[in-house]
Amino acid sequence: MNFILIAVIVLGAIGLIAALVLYVASKKFAVYEDPRIAQVSELLPGANCGGCGFPGCGGMADALVKGADAGSLEGLNCPVGGAEVMGRVADLLGMAIANGEPKVAVVRCNGTCEHRPKIAEYAGLRTCAAMHSCGAGETACGFGCLGCGDCVKACQFDAIHMNPETGLPEVDDEKCTACGACVKNCPRNIIELRKKGPKNRRVYVSCVNKDKGAVSMKACKVSCIGCGKCEKECPFGAITVANNCSYIDFEKCRLCKKCVAVCPTKAIQAVNFPAPKPVEPKPAEQGKEEKA
Amino acid sequence: MNIRTFRIGGVHPEENKLTHEVATKVAALPKQAIFPLSQHIGAPTKPVVQKGDKVKVGTMIAEAGGFVSAPIFSSVSGTVFKIDTAIDATGYRKPVIIINVEGDEWEESIDRSTKLELVKDHPELTPEEIVSRIKNAGVVGMGGACFPTFIKLTPPPTAKAECVIINAVECEPYITADYRLMMEHADEILVGLELLMKGAKVTRGYIGIETNKPAAIELLTKKAAEKFTNSDYQVEVVPLAQRYPQGGEKQLVDAVIRRQVPAPPAIPVNVGAIVQNVGTAFAVYEAVMKNKPLFERYTTVTGKKLANPGNFLVRMGTPMKDLIDACGGMPEGDNKLLAGGPMMGKALTSVEVPICKGTNSVTILSGDDARRKEPQPCIRCAKCVGACPMGLEPYLLAKLSDVKNWERAEREDIVSCIECGSCQFTCPAHRPLLDNIRQGKATVMGIIRNRNAKK
């Protein structure tokens, strides 16, 4: 009986002393952390994708709180959570909602097997980065998609997949969070984050080939040849042609699709627009055709 | 005979020197010559001609674009057709000068006689004069890496050159251009070596030759003894055991003078050696003694299925197609076209790629030789570790590159890799080790460059 009592007293005393030491230490060496950081962290998606430019959601939360203290959340945007999450974060911090128009990854190459014939066979390591360092790849286009799926491997949201028929990656608009991982991993800078657009409607040049028209046409039937017709046609000044390749500024583009109609190589893509209504041929035109 | 070789790693691929005893032919002039503006390590050149200009053989068409750069000279006479882009040995379209060939008119300043000029007959050749003539003639390393030669001859003040080593190893399978050059121009090469030694202000010279070229060893040993006995210079021909990659600078330094070059950024001159290819020695002779800039080179065109493989003295800018046609045309079926040999050569997708300063061979592999075998899982046999001539662990570097662990890859010295491919050659599981390592090396070197730029 005596032994048990001694054990209880000794252990109890050790426990008390240890508790006292811990209490003193926690008071003495306390590090103050803004409680809002933890709260903001909880609101963020927690994917740690790095799409915001910070190492993870913790870093982003820290930056958001610091931004709020400095008086502005400008330039801070969680691409994954989008406007909804940013709105909640702004409410919590008592700030105005930070801007953040939804964006989506867009693959700017339409060089399918049919449009862009293979001229060689690549036998090395099947990653785009490796193939890119060996030369133009299996086709004659030194700018287009290599088709090994580095972007697919980079995506943490299962939003980009290779289409086995075209050999090109396709982005799932619903799943894409515009974190930009695919953009960074594409060795040819084909993928771009563009404005998602109303009802996912977008107009873009689906080619990044900077070779002269004759050369790029030889490599791929749907390449941009830099002819400049779209630039002249655009009523909003959204299109610029540089280095034999056209580019549509999505901030200025009003989705009128006039450029799509004039593009001689069909390099400009308009996606998610309703199919054009079948136009009934006018009788006069019919007559002309018959004569011809 | 005391046969030396480098101390770690190495492999011995099948030699396939099909064109050993095929005497060099002078290649026909092309109809159109293509000169890429970047034919060397360093800054690309700047064109100094315009569309429509008339040029002669030996006219400068592009000047050096920086300190590490070398001017480019026309190898043909004719009219500048255009300055455009064309596919070069990188596999991409790069800026080039295209010249339509008309006749064969040479610049008068070039001495076209075959008389052997000796250094002792030219007292005006001070070391500075030699280096400046080499620089102005656009001479670069002819073994393939194309580093401007004059820079190698003027080492940084922290290093002191003690000897010049002539790289006549030619350890790559198939290639015989250097061997033919030695057999046909031994005297000129020795004068070139003397010029290199004088330019670098050293008195010791070595010529490293593998023992699969006994005739070249015999010939050069005899000629070197005749020439350099009772002179200020000591030149030794060093027979080396056959082992790839003995032609790598660091391996050659180890084999010949038993010194190991430390990890990058150290270069051979940090241990006192200046390594020059035998083709470079010949180009130096022609540049200094004959006032002939670098616009011709010896190139082997080879392949088991090729009807008449051969060695050619070819004007730079000649499309590979012309040479392949001169050898009987591209074989039937699927072929792999390489600029260089099968170990380090670069696969090309176009036969229109021109011969450049560094194109020592055009190799055509056919059938099974051209294909890789299906990769299998790593069996941890460590054969790659044994084969690596730099003492690295290729299996580990490949994995680290694959998982993008750049910090660890840097710690494991990925930048020391010389990309010789011994690991991949020896791997029984046919794993794409070098493909992965190359990616990692390029990325890590980029990271280091950025870090140094920030400092």
Per-residue tens of pLDDT for chain B, all 455 residues: 568 999 999 999 999 999 999 999 999 999 999 999 999 999 999 999 999 999 999 999 999 999 999 999 999 999 999 999 999 988 899 999 999 999 999 999 999 998 999 988 999 999 999 999 999 999 999 987 889 999 999 888 888 999 999 999 999 999 999 999 999 999 999 999 999 999 999 999 999 999 999 999 999 999 999 999 888 899 999 999 999 999 999 999 999 999 999 988 889 999 999 999 999 999 999 999 999 999 999 999 999 999 999 999 999 999 999 999 999 999 998 899 999 999 999 999 999 999 999 999 999 999 888 889 999 999 999 999 999 999 999 999 999 999 999 999 999 999 999 999 999 999 999 999 999 999 999 999 999 999 998 87
pLDDT at B209: 96
Q: Point out the domain boundary residue: B289, B322, B337.
A: B289
Spatial separation of the C-alpha atoms in residues B82 and B51, rounded to whole Å: 5
Same domain, B262 and B390: no
Tokens found for residue B177? 């251009």
Same domain, B256 and B389: no
Which whole number is the average pLDDT over A84-92?
A: 83
Q: Point out the domain boundary residue: B289, B304, B329.
A: B289
Do B414 and B440 meet the contact criterion of CB atoms below 8 Å apart? yes
Top pLDDT among B422 and A51 is at B422
List residues in chain A touching B: CB distance below 8 A. 119-121, 123-125, 127, 129-130, 133-136, 140, 142, 211-212, 215
Count of A-B CB contacts under 8 Å: 45
Of B199, B193, B134, give the one whose Cα is nearest residue B167: B193
Helix axis angle, B186-200 relative to B214-228, nearest 10°? 60
Same domain, B138 and B279: yes
Answer yes or no: CATH 3.30.70.20 is held by domain A103-271.
yes
Confidence of residue A68 (pLDDT cuts 50, 70, 90): confident
Closest CA–CA distance from residue A142 to any residue of chain B (Å): 6
Spatial separation of the C-alpha atoms in residues B143 and B340, rounded to whole Å: 9
Does the pLDDT value for residue A286 go beyond 50?
no
Spatial separation of the C-alpha atoms in residues B279 and B167, rounded to whole Å: 9
Same domain, B263 and B131: yes
Q: Point out the domain boundary residue: B289, B312, B328.
A: B289
Domain membership of residue B224 (yes or no) is yes
What does residue B454 show for φ and ψ, rounded to 5 degrees? -70, -30
Same domain, B284 and B403: no
Domain membership of residue B216 (yes or no) is yes
Contact B372 A123 (CB under 8 A): yes
Domain membership of residue B42 (yes or no) is no
HEC assignment per residue over chain A? CHHHHHHHHHHHHHHHHHHHHHHHHHHHCCCCCCHHHHHHHHHCCCCCCCCCCCCCHHHHHHHHHHHHHHCCCCCCCCCCCHHHHHHHHHHHHCCCCCCCCCEEEEECCCCCCCCCCECCCCCCCCCHHHHHHHCCCCECCCCCCCCCCHHHHHCCCCCEEEECCCCEEEECCCCCCCCCHHHHHCCCCCEEEEECCHHHCEEEECCCCCCCHHHHHHHCCCCCCCCCHHHHHCCCCCEEEECCEEEECCCCCCCCCHHHHHCCCCCEEEECCCCCCCCCCCHHHHHHHHHC
Amino acid, res. A229? K
Contact B438 A130 (CB under 8 A): yes
**A65-80 as b/e, with b when 16 or more CB fall inside 10 Å?**
bebbeeeebeebbbbb
Contact A212 B432 (CB under 8 A): no
Contact A123 B92 (CB under 8 A): no
Tokens found for residue B389? 């001539």
Do B364 and B305 meet the contact criterion of CB atoms below 8 Å apart? yes
Closest CA–CA distance from residue B93 to any residue of chain A (Å): 8
pLDDT at A288: 45
Number of helices (H) and strands (E) in chain B: give both, helices first. 13, 17
**Domain count within chain B:** 2
Domain enclosing residue B437, as ranges: 383-454
Do B260 and B250 meet the contact criterion of CB atoms below 8 Å apart? yes
Tokens found for residue B334? 């699927």
Domain membership of residue B104 (yes or no) is no
Domain membership of residue B65 (yes or no) is no
Closest CA–CA distance from residue A204 to any residue of chain B (Å): 25
Find the angle CA(A136)-CA(A138)-CA(A144) to the nearest 5 degrees: 55
Q: What are the distances in angstroms from CA A54 to CA A49, A78, B393, B439?
A: 9, 10, 34, 25
Of B125, B132, B163, give the one whose Cα is nearest residue B149: B132
- Residue bearing tokens 């055709």: A289
Where in chain A are all domains bearing CATH 3.30.70.20? Answer: 103-271
Domain membership of residue B327 (yes or no) is no
CATH of the domain at B206: 3.40.50.11540
The pTM of the whole model exceeds 0.80: yes
Where in chain A are all domains bearing CATH 1.10.15? Answer: 35-93
Contact B90 A119 (CB under 8 A): no
Closest CA–CA distance from residue A48 to any residue of chain B (Å): 17
Domain membership of residue B366 (yes or no) is no
pLDDT at B131: 95
Spatial separation of the C-alpha atoms in residues B431 and A124, rounded to whole Å: 10
- Alpha-helical runs (H) found in B233-353: 249-257, 278-289, 320-326
Domain membership of residue B126 (yes or no) is yes
First to last CA, chain A: 119
Spatial separation of the C-alpha atoms in residues A242 and B39, rounded to whole Å: 27
What does residue B139 show for φ and ψ, rounded to 5 degrees? -75, 130
Tokens found for residue B156? 């940084």
Pick from B98, B337, B439, B443 the residue to mutate for testing the A interface (most A CBs within 10 Å).
B439
Same domain, B264 and B398: no
CATH no. for A35-93? 1.10.15
Contacts of A120 in chain B (CB under 8 A): 349
Same domain, B283 and B391: no
